[in-house]
Structure 1
Amino acid sequence: MSDINVAVNGDKFDLSQPIGDYSFTFKWLLDSLNENDEKFQKFHKNREIEKITFSDISDGQGYFSAVLRFIITFTDSSKAPSDDAYTTVLKIPGTVSFKKANSKSGGNNEVFEAVANVASIHQHECIFYNQIAPILEIPLPKVYKTVEIDLQNLEGCIHMEDLSNLGKTLSYFESVNLTQIKCLIQTLAHMHKNLLTTDDAIWKNKFMKHQRGFADITTFFEDLIEPFLQKCKRRNAFEQYLEKYRKFAFNKDYMIYVHQQSHQDLEISPVIVHGDIKSGNILFSIDANGDIQNGIASIIDWQVLREGSPMYDLAYFLVHNTDGVVRRQAEVFAIQYYHECLVKEFDGDKSKVPYTIEQLKHSYNYVFLTQAFFIPFLAVFMFNGMESKIKSQSLKDAFFDFITLKSLHAYEDADRLLKNEMKQVFEKYNN
């Protein structure tokens, strides 16, 4: 936490001072609030500021950015500071926390640096908020100002509202419930309907850069196999699957095919997909006590959005945000329910829905197989990003036991698919 004493009408503090180690200044932040934030303009624009504090609230999950939350208090407040403070957020792209967690996990930062393009993913997110977000009509943060990275601006940022009092995220080591899954499916169906009924020129072919998905970082995940096997206590169970499916699991050609071509071969109209819709990027609504509820308050971090199958985000969400029990329960109804929600979005006219359930099921299976094998290795990476904050060794062990069983269930289901419905896919890409 950094404390800055400010008196806008006085001389206590030079507002041109940079924020931490970044090039943005406190004057830049206040100017953006005064120019773009209607709530700040209405209630706080002419008030003298007593203090500004800020801290990184990414909580070990902001691997491609720092998320700075600012608390602004005022000299004329007649209330407790916490009751009259104003908060706002700056998201500044960068990879410091990613490389730190990657190194701790045994990963190769050179591999990551070879494929990461922070400027590109930040630019995509800026374009998303400025051009695409208004047509989706889904819960998203209000964005006040975006600054893209270019030769003049060596740092970029997104200035947005603070949502920390409206919702909370779950960690990678917690499972969502079935009602939360239904809430997400409803949101996806509404978003997809709006995209499918909007002029294609607004969004189509504008988000193609990240269609390779995980293909370029498969080597990064392979580096984490041994660290996971050493911790999981189930080495033999996983080694039998890795021996059989390792070539397929890390086959870049399959990854690229699924992301770029599979939905086209299935004659599925593309939509914009979030691309990383894990629970850390979803704020679930909270009640008066701050306890997580089922509704969605906001979906954040649209850094790797791209065109793709309407099943991509659903499959990704279920693979990464559920345990085996919840995922298997959800898979019984999820695709049918999505289709029903989409029909409802089209006012009950099934003829307007461009997908059949069979098309969606097949597309779901394609995406599932790109993600299922990576759960344990992503878990190692995520675990090392949060381990230092967990004091209890028994709790650390419980987290890893959770992810071990979740991974094993995913491997079992991938094995079933590759022996049956997706057997031809395995035979084609197991090289």
Structure 2
Amino acid sequence: MGQLSRIYRVNLIWSCNDENVLPNSVVLKLPRLKDFSDVVKMFQNNKNKRIDQTIEFIKASHNVECDIYDIFESLKNPPLPLMRCYYAEKSNGENSGILIFEDMSLNGVSEDFSTILNLDEIFNLISLLVDLHVWSLTTSVDWKSKCPALLNRLKDTTDKYALMGGLQNFVNDYPEQFGFMDVERICHYMHIDNLTKRKEHLMNTTPKVLVHGDFKANNIFFKKRSDGTASSRIAAIIDWQTAEVGSMIDDICSLLVISTSSTIRREHEKNIIQYYLNCLTAKLPKTLHQIIPDYETLWHAYKEIFLFRVVLLLNLSAIIVKHKNDNLDLFNEIMDRITSAYYDAMEFLDEDAEH
């Protein structure tokens, strides 16, 4: 089950099965046009007026993913590991659309979003982001027209403050956990017009690249070890519904805020950004080296977009917070992740205001 789609694994029986050619199972992905997920509902401030717009957003997101897989399937050597897409049908009118994928569960392991990725996994993923960005900056394929900016898609779906999601309700319902948050300040930051200006500024100071948009642990398949556990090697990056033209820092920030511990993030975030720049310099043709931002520019961009990812982490964590007694260790870890990221975000905004 996804936030924007329903996922089904289907076993197949063929009358003349050749296991080397025909798959024994596939994965179906269908847009959730009627039964909105809890996270999607959080971003609907006015449910009565926004249902049609939300449906259109989900359709548009499904169509973006169809386009992304059409592009990647047309390439002899895609820029990063993907699961095969056997069929992509867009949402159009009464037709909800569908995607049919290879079943990655046989050779890969998918984690929960709350999984703490280790440094090996993070550096492997950063290296893949570099490959994606180098491809974005050097290819003749027209990918930009297929990936409208996510906030532009959201503008017709939400009111000015709906990107706050359930934050105010969380603060009211769980004052012991979230009473420290400055909701008014976050509200100003998350106002969709302010956030749009911030994102546009980032794209004017860093090269425009293909951004996954939801780059976190549960959208990554890791190669399976012989004992069935996940290795640190990447089998596939999945779920491209929120792909867009964006800043090269977007997916890095998402990964570090949402899918690793506060200790790992705080200790290594600067080194990870420098590692990204080193890899980009090594892989990008020398004729394009003049477009590579310096470290300070990329670090500033990271701080600018940081709070946006903190709010997304909070909304994703809703089910863990509401059912904290089911897994207190997980609840405490997520609360540490949220609290640490929030205070870092406030410090980043203070530093930004001083300049």
Is 1:86–2:24 an aligned residue pair?
A: yes
Residue segments in structure 1 that go unaligned for 5+ positions in a row: 1-57, 78-83, 388-392, 426-431
Match of 2:188 in 1: 248
Provide the identity percentage: 24
| Equivalent in the alignment of 1:423 | 353
TM-score (norm 2): 0.85
Q: CA RMSD in A?
A: 3.2
Question: Once the 2 structures are TM-superposed, how far is the Cα of residue 186 of structure 1 from its aligned partner?
Answer: 0.3
Report the structure number with the largest CA radius of gyration.
1
Which residue identity does 2:10 align to in structure 1?
F
Query: What is the CA–CA distance in structure 1 between the aligned matches of 2:253 and 2:36, rounded to whole Å?
Result: 24
2:197 equivalent among 257, 266, 284: 257
Q: Is the 8 A contact 1:166 1:285 kept in 2?
A: yes
Aligned to 1:346: 284
Q: Look up the SS of the partner of 1:234 in the other structure.
A: helix
Q: Distance in 2 between matches of 1:362 and 1:156?
A: 40
Please report how far the alpha carbon of residue 96 of structure 1 lies from its aligned counterpart in structure 2 after TM superposition: 5.0
How far apart, CA to CA, are the structure 1 residues paired with 2:66 and 2:276? 29
1:235/1:211 CA distance change after superposition, 3 Å: closer
Task: Show the counterpart of 1:412.
Answer: 343
Distance 1:349 1:294 in 2: 33
Q: TM-score, normalised by structure 1?
A: 0.71
Taking the aligned partners of 2:144 and 2:348, their CA distance within structure 1 comes to 32
**1:184 partner amino acid:** L
* 1:137 aligned residue: 79
Partner residue of 1:219 out of 162, 170, 192: 162
Deviation readout 1:98-147 (Å, 9 max, x if unpaired) = 34566699976447634452221111111111124536421111111111
SS at match of 2:82: coil
Q: Tell me the alpha carbon deviations over residues 332-372 of structure 1, each in whole angstroms, 9 at most, x when there is no partner.
A: 31110001111221378883663222221122122213222
2-side partners of 1:319 and 1:146: how far apart? 32
Q: How does 1:226-375 map to 2 (within 5 A)?
A: 226-227=169-170, 230-231=173-174, 233-236=176-179, 238-239=180-181, 241-242=182-183, 245-259=185-199, 261-266=200-205, 268-346=206-284, 351=289, 354-375=292-313
Q: Aligned-pair distance for 1:289?
A: 1.1
Q: Answer with 356-365 or 106-115: which moved more.
A: 106-115
Q: Is the 8 A contact 2:216 2:259 kept in 1?
A: yes
1:276 partner amino acid: D
Which SS does the other structure have where 1:301 is aligned? Answer: coil
Shift of 1:382: 6.7
Aligned-partner SS, 1:308: strand
AA aligned to 1:423 is A
1:127 partner letter? D
Alpha-carbon spacing, 1:247–1:126, altered in 2? closer, same or farther (3 Å): closer
Q: 1:148 aligns with which of 90, 94, 101?
A: 90
Provide the rounded CA distance (Å) in 2 between the counterparts of 1:332 and 1:258. Answer: 21
Tell me the SS of whatever aligns to 1:328. Answer: helix
Cα 1:213–1:372 shift into 2, 3 Å? farther
Q: Distance in 2 between matches of 1:282 and 1:91?
A: 16
**Which residue in 2 is equivalent to 1:31?**
none
Q: How many residues align?
A: 345
Q: Is the 8 A contact 1:263 1:270 kept in 2?
A: no
Return the structure number with greater relative CO, CA threshold 8 A, min gap 6.
2
Residue 240 of structure 2 aligns to which amino acid in structure 1? W
**Matched-pair contact (CA < 8 Å) for 1:232–1:400:** no
**After superposition, where does 1:47-62 map in structure 2 within 5 Å?**
58=1, 62=2
Q: Tell me, which stretches of 5 or more residues in structure 2 are unaligned?
A: none
Q: Secondary structure at the match of 1:137?
A: coil
Partner of 1:33: none
For the 8 Å contact 1:185–1:314, the answer to whether it is kept is yes
Match of 2:116 among 163, 175, 183: 175
